Amino acid sequence: MAFKDRIAHPWGSRTPYGPGQEWPARVDGHLAEGVAPQDVDRWVQSATILHSNGDALDIAVKDDRVVGVRGRAVDRVNRGRLGPKDLFGWQAHQSADRLTRPLVRRDGALVETDWDTAMDVVVRRSRELLDEQGPSALAFYTSGQLFLEEYYTLAAIGHGAIGTNHMDGNTRLCTATAAAALKESFGCDGQPGSYSDIDHADVIALYGHNMAETQTVLWSRVLDRLAGSDPPRLLCVDCRPTPVAREATLHLAPLPGTNLALMNALLHEIIRRDLVDHDYVQAHTVGYQDLVERVADHTPEVAERICGVPAGRIREAAELLGGARRLLSTVLQGFYQSHQATAAAVQVNNVHLVRGMLGRPGAGVLQMNGQPTAQNTRECGADGDLTGFRNWSNDEHVAELAKVWNLDTLQIPHYGPPTHAMQIMRYAETGSVRLLWVSATNPAVSLPDLHRIRALLARQGLFLVVQDIFATETTELADVVLPAATWGEKTGTFTNTDRTVHLSERAVDPPGEARADLDIFLDYARRMDFRDRDGAPFPQWHDAESAFEAWKRASAGRPCDYTGLTYAGLRGGSGVQWPCTAERPGGTERLYTDGRFWAAPQECESYGRDLVTGAPVEPVEYAAMNPFGRAIIRAAEYLPPHEEPDGQYPFALVTGRTLYHFHTRTKTGRVPQLSRAAPEVWVEIAESDAREAGIGEGDLVEVASPRGAVRARARISGIRPGVLFVPFHYGYWDARGQDRDRAANEMTVTDWDPVSKQPLFKTSAARLRLLRPADGRSAPAPTTTASRPVADGVPATTGGPEGLCQEDVGGGAR
Amino acid sequence: MRIGVALREVQRSEAGLAVELRRMADEYQDEVEIHHVAQDLARWSDEHVHELAAAAARHGEDSETLAGPGRAGPGSPPDAGGLLAAGSDPGLALLADLRRLYLAAAGVSVDWELLGQGAQAVKDAELLELSGRCHPRTLRQMNWANAMLKVLSPQVWAR
Ligand code: SF4
């Protein structure tokens, strides 16, 4: 067994392989200091919870404590590999400062109490508001980190028992555009492709997707293909010099906010050069002619003027896409959190539709998720969707769900799409949402324009319930804080980006009085005395497995059909991709293999929306356009961003994440190896911009937008000139004296994509000024990632002895 | 030519719609979807006004005397009274404004319809193409106002 510093080498050793071959296994593991594998009492099956890749692992338990993790070689997703966050992240759960008792606000301060008291307060306020105003006073804002069973239960309580329309997840910040783009093109959510498409593709296009940092194990798979025979060629669209950009055959760096203009030019070229699969288009799509007309004048020269990408490079990119035999595309936040998010992401689908690149090995689309269990919020309906990918404007779907729940149809609000997160916040701000229940997320750091968010969360008249595992910037504002159990302390399932379902079992007990989120939701339901139509307690289930069985019935016959799955079946082997049914007990690798979609008017999850205005398409209109349920090619015109750099704020500000942290660092900030790799906020500046502003590596600078400012050290990087990047992970719980000048969201604009309602974190304008020269220090930014410095002499990011992890590569590694 | 009247009419109402959209964008800075999308949609109306002016000039109409941006809105606000009268309640005021916007867009839509019919009657291919190109965007503006009404009204009524 070999050891490797996985902070210095986030992707581990190479195990090269060729097209069509199986990805070799490599088992990664990490155990607490002084613990040897033979000391471990038991290994408990689970999967990773700090990103969306869904890497299977086993949790090592000794003396009823988690002492480490090891990848599962049998699993289709990771073949034993783990990323740095998973190798080290579990240590956070044992922090001494976990929340272990409920808290209630008394005379302005949060004080410890017992569960009965805390839940009574919540129940009493819920009842009062239901009597006074009705369901519209109550809202739920959940996470991308709970388990399927928990989301399903929350959806049943919110949309069913209470009947409020206001329920969303912070997956809105993350995967809303993925879901919206899939619905626009294919009539229904559901990832068409599979991670195994990487094994077969000859061209891989990554759009605004820094896979190397967001899904490190998936990127290892790409690196292994690149190291093997007959490697794929890579197209990277990103304004930062990410590790992906460095490996790419072609890297395009459009100005922030101009993705749609670039996509339209790529489609223009593909059509002009007739690299179109006309048979596929004819047989399986509607709307092609609209696209042809829309992009007819949108030449690479037009796009060059908008995006600042040379027309020649755009032509080369179109050639790469148009010449691919097996094209895999992946999309993430560079598109999803940017101007015209859905319209741009849909054009990636369009490239695949016009080229007939769907449903066969290597030919697939991955509209990615960021968070580990984001897929489940969508399926279960704990975000702005209806349970089981049902269509909120199809009365039959609503009636069907009411039947599954055994509730009255009128009980389920369906007079409009469920209220999205930013609109929930607006209702809280204007006082019509009066109880907000936040679970497992930290809006006081993660939402845009924090000054506003803090004010509205602290508003008198808003009763704020926060359920989490640590005290956060959000719990600080709460009226009631409920201590939750986390991964390894509770049982449930979750599903990754490519539809792979994993079981995650309870390995140890939660600390103190902390409880599983599922138990908290069910306890609330019982105390509220919710009943179904027959007077039985609702929800009718009582624990994780019975919730899963109930969910299976809700998913039956829908695209995300789980009926062939059981806890027993998920134990021991590999994760399984839905749909999984009696007819397909092994799951389904790729959707749409036969060119058939879930897009028929009576089946589809959505009739779509206008890509510019966001207005939902009316059912009759949809039925006329797409009577036979084909894939829909939707075109859209480019519009300039709503906030553009100007004289006063000359830079485009982009926020995003780094490899070593997750979300607002409540976990990763408590892990020594991860925290040391990226201890503080920084700002990335292009060399030419830095020179002009007289700024050098490590100088303390201020970045300011019209809304707020951040003080940080400067990293001079290869980022596109005119663009500044600030990581969004850093808030105030460990800020040590820093005052509201650390979180990137102090600066971001309140604006969202009208189609997916995803907030835009990649199109704010900002200015920059030097505060203090470097005093010999460099920026606290990793050197291993997109934040790599241009200059020599910056100390390399390493993990030292504590960063060493086991790596069992068998034969053939190098 | 009488078709000039139709041209003038649609140009006048488009200009009015642009004014109305911008007014809403200004008025509802904190309703950010309205604020931003109204601005995007006002741009469409500007483009239409611009193209109509060019068409009018080709038809010998003096576009200078026609509507330009800044000219008053679409006549008197339709149905300013009743339940939706903009009172002190900001939620109701927003619904009233969206309703007005919807009706204004509907007016423009009718004007495009009339222009299209006129263009057919006088066999003016260019005008027909213009109305065929612009009219769908008017319908999208209208649908947007309607959609926002549908989404925002339940919360207002439920209080
Ligand atoms: S960092 Fe947050 S928003 Fe970004 S992908 Fe991850 S979970 Fe989503």
Q: How far is CA A131 from CA A126, A127, A153, A215, A523, in A?
A: 9, 6, 23, 46, 21
Q: Does B31 touch chain A if contact means CB atoms closer than 8 Å?
A: yes
Q: Does A451 touch chain B if contact means CB atoms closer than 8 Å?
A: no
Give the residue-averaged pLDDT of A491-520. 98
Residues A729, A770: one domain?
Answer: yes
**What local confidence, expressed as pLDDT, does residue A813 receive?**
43
Q: Which of B24, B29, B33, B148 to mutate to test the interface with A (most CBs of A within 10 A)?
A: B33
Which residues of chain B make contact with A612, given a CB cutoff of 8 A? Answer: 40, 140
Protein residue with its CA nearest to atom 5 in ligand 1: A370
Q: Identify whether the C-beta of residue A465 lies closer than 8 Å to the C-beta of residue A105.
A: no
To the nearest 10 degrees (0 to 180), the angle between helices B3-27 and B125-158 is 30
From the CB of A209, is ligand 1 less than 6 Å away?
no
Q: How far is CA A251 from CA A207, A240, A265, A298, in A?
A: 10, 10, 16, 21
Residues in chain B, how many? Answer: 159
CATH number of the domain that B132 lies in? 1.20.1260.10
Q: Identify whether the C-beta of residue A493 lies closer than 8 Å to the C-beta of residue A501.
A: yes
pLDDT in tens, A756-788: 999 999 989 999 999 999 988 999 999 999 999
Domain with B122 in it: 2-62+90-158
Nearest by CB to A615, from B39, B40, B147: name it.
B147
Residue A245 phi, psi (nearest 5): -60, -35
pLDDT in tens, A96-116: 999 999 999 999 999 999 999
**What local confidence, expressed as pLDDT, does residue B86 receive?**
52
Asked whether residue A158 is domain-assigned, the answer is: yes
pLDDT in tens, A15-42: 999 999 999 999 999 999 999 999 999 9
Residues A332, A266: one domain?
Answer: yes
Asked whether residue A170 is domain-assigned, the answer is: yes
Atom of ligand 1 nearest to the CA of A370: 5
To the nearest 10 degrees (0 to 180), the angle between helices A544-555 and A148-155 is 70
Give the residue-averaged pLDDT of A432-451. 97
Nearest CA in chain A to B152: A416
Q: Does A619 touch chain B if contact means CB atoms closer than 8 Å?
A: no
Residues A758, A724: one domain?
Answer: yes
Residue A56 phi, psi (nearest 5): -80, 140
> In the predicted model, is pLDDT for residue A812 greater than 60?
no
Measured distance CA(B14)–CA(A798) in Å, rounded: 62
- In 3D space, the residue among A313, A385, A372, A341 whose CA is nearest the CA of residue A496 turns out to be A372
Q: How many CB atoms lie within 10 A of CB A1?
A: 9
Residues A140, A224: one domain?
Answer: no
**What local confidence, expressed as pLDDT, does residue A765 receive?**
97
Please report the ipTM that was assigned to this predicted complex. 0.93
Q: Edge-to-edge, what's the strand order for the sheet holding A203-207?
A: A250-252, A233-237, A203-207, A327-331, A364-367
Put simply, the answer to whether A613 touches B143 (Cβ < 8 Å) is yes
Nearest by CB to A615, from B39, B143, B155: name it.
B143
**What local confidence, expressed as pLDDT, does residue B4 receive?**
87
Asked whether residue A485 is domain-assigned, the answer is: yes
Residues A90, A201: one domain?
Answer: no
Q: Identify whether the C-beta of residue A544 lies closer than 8 Å to the C-beta of residue A570.
A: no
**What local confidence, expressed as pLDDT, does residue B158 receive?**
86
Protein residue with its CA nearest to atom 7 in ligand 1: A371
Residues A361, A407: one domain?
Answer: no
Q: What's the first-to-final CA gap in chain A, in angstroms?
A: 14
What is the dihedral sign for C-alpha A560, A589, A55, A337? negative
Q: What percent of chain A has pLDDT over 70?
A: 99
> In the predicted model, is pLDDT for residue A810 greater than 90?
no
Asked whether residue B24 is domain-assigned, the answer is: yes
From the CB of A144, is ligand 1 less than 6 Å away?
yes
Asked whether residue A342 is domain-assigned, the answer is: yes
Measured distance CA(A683)–CA(A780) in Å, rounded: 10
Measured distance CA(A496)–CA(A337) in Å, rounded: 20
**What local confidence, expressed as pLDDT, does residue B63 receive?**
54
Nearest by CB to B36, from A419, A430, A642: name it.
A642
Counted domains in chain B: 1
pLDDT in tens, A204-254: 999 999 999 999 999 999 999 999 999 999 999 999 999 999 999 999 999
Please give the structure tokens belonging to residue A328: 């895999």
Asked whether residue A638 is domain-assigned, the answer is: no
Asked whether residue B13 is domain-assigned, the answer is: yes
Which residues of chain A make contact with B95, given a CB cutoff of 8 A? Answer: none
**What local confidence, expressed as pLDDT, does residue B60 receive?**
80
Helix, strand, coil proportions of chain B in percent (round to 5)?
75, 0, 25
Domain with A129 in it: 103-174+373-577
Residues A399, A499: one domain?
Answer: yes
Give the residue-averaged pLDDT of A485-497. 97
Q: Identify whether the C-beta of residue A178 lies closer than 8 Å to the C-beta of residue A377.
A: no
> In the predicted model, is pLDDT for residue A702 greater than 50?
yes
Nearest by CB to B154, from A165, A616, A754: name it.
A165
- In 3D space, the residue among A167, A191, A165, A177 whose CA is nearest the CA of residue A53 turns out to be A191
Atom of ligand 1 nearest to the CA of A662: 1
Asked whether residue B71 is domain-assigned, the answer is: no
Å from A193 to nearest chain B CA? 33
Å from B38 to nearest chain A CA? 9
**What local confidence, expressed as pLDDT, does residue B2 receive?**
82
β-pair type (A764-772, A682-686): unpaired
Put simply, the answer to whether B43 touches A639 (Cβ < 8 Å) is yes
**What local confidence, expressed as pLDDT, does residue B82 receive?**
59
- Looking at every residue in chain A, the average pLDDT score rounds to 96
Residues A204, A341: one domain?
Answer: yes
∠ Cα A367 A368 A370 (to 5°):
150
∠ Cα A802 A807 A811 (to 5°):
155
> In the predicted model, is pLDDT for residue A6 greater than 80?
yes
Helix, strand, coil proportions of chain A in percent (round to 5)?
30, 20, 50
Q: Identify whether the C-beta of residue B48 lies closer than 8 Å to the C-beta of residue B139.
A: no
pLDDT in tens, A408-419: 999 999 988 899
Asked whether residue B145 is domain-assigned, the answer is: yes
Measured distance CA(A24)–CA(B114) in Å, rounded: 68
From the CB of A159, is ligand 1 less than 6 Å away?
no
Asked whether residue A452 is domain-assigned, the answer is: yes
Put simply, the answer to whether A751 touches B32 (Cβ < 8 Å) is yes
Q: What percent of chain A has pLDDT over 90?
A: 97
Asked whether residue B76 is domain-assigned, the answer is: no
Which residues of chain B make contact with A616, given a CB cutoff of 8 A? Answer: 147
**What local confidence, expressed as pLDDT, does residue A814 receive?**
41
CB-based burial, B25-52: b 16+ in 10 Å, e otherwise = beebeebbbbbbbbbbbbebbbebbeeb
Q: Does B133 touch chain A if contact means CB atoms closer than 8 Å?
A: no
Q: Identify whether the C-beta of residue B144 lies closer than 8 Å to the C-beta of residue A615.
A: yes
CATH number of the domain that A533 lies in? 3.40.50.740
Residues A363, A379: one domain?
Answer: no
CATH number of the domain that A253 lies in? 3.40.228.10
Measured distance CA(A294)–CA(A264) in Å, rounded: 8
Asked whether residue A84 is domain-assigned, the answer is: yes
Give the residue-averaged pLDDT of A162-180. 96
Asked whether residue B78 is domain-assigned, the answer is: no
Does this model's pTM top 0.80? My answer is yes
- In 3D space, the residue among A14, A49, A501, A360 whose CA is nearest the CA of residue A221 turns out to be A14
Residue A642 phi, psi (nearest 5): -80, -25
Residues A189, A71: one domain?
Answer: no
Which residues of chain B make contact with A133, given a CB cutoff of 8 A? Answer: 158-159
From the CB of A370, is ligand 1 less than 6 Å away?
yes
Residue A399 phi, psi (nearest 5): -65, -40
CA atoms within 13 A on the CB side of A12: 33
> In the predicted model, is pLDDT for residue A81 greater than 90?
yes
pLDDT in tens, A621-651: 999 999 999 999 999 999 999 999 999 999 9
Asked whether residue B15 is domain-assigned, the answer is: yes
Give the residue-averaged pLDDT of A446-460. 96
A406 φψ region: left (φ > 0), alpha (ψ -120 to 50), beta (else): left
Domain end call among A56, A72, A94: A94
Asked whether residue A545 is domain-assigned, the answer is: yes
Q: Identify whether the C-beta of residue A413 lies closer than 8 Å to the C-beta of residue A165.
A: yes
> In the predicted model, is pLDDT for residue A135 greater than 90?
yes
pLDDT in tens, B86-127: 567 889 999 999 999 999 999 999 999 999 999 999 999 999
Please give the structure tokens belonging to residue A814: 């190098």
- In 3D space, the residue among A272, A235, A270, A265 whose CA is nearest the CA of residue A250 turns out to be A235
Q: Identify whether the C-beta of residue A449 lies closer than 8 Å to the C-beta of residue A91.
A: no
CA dihedral of A328, A334, A340, A341, whole degrees rounded to 10: 60
Asked whether residue B85 is domain-assigned, the answer is: no
Q: Does B36 touch chain A if contact means CB atoms closer than 8 Å?
A: yes
Q: What's the first-to-final CA gap in chain B, in angstroms?
A: 54
Q: Sorting pLDDT into bands at 50, 70 and 90, what band is A147?
A: very high
Mean pLDDT by 10 residues, chain B (159 residues): 87 97 96 97 97 89 52 47 64 95 97 95 94 96 97 91
Atom of ligand 1 nearest to the CA of A337: 3
Put simply, the answer to whether A416 touches B150 (Cβ < 8 Å) is yes
Please give the structure tokens belonging to residue A54: 């869904």
Put simply, the answer to whether B158 touches A136 (Cβ < 8 Å) is yes
Residues A286, A329: one domain?
Answer: yes
Counted domains in chain A: 4
Residues A542, A490: one domain?
Answer: yes
> In the predicted model, is pLDDT for residue A149 greater than 90?
yes
Measured distance CA(A258)–CA(A335) in Å, rounded: 9
Nearest CA in chain A to B148: A615
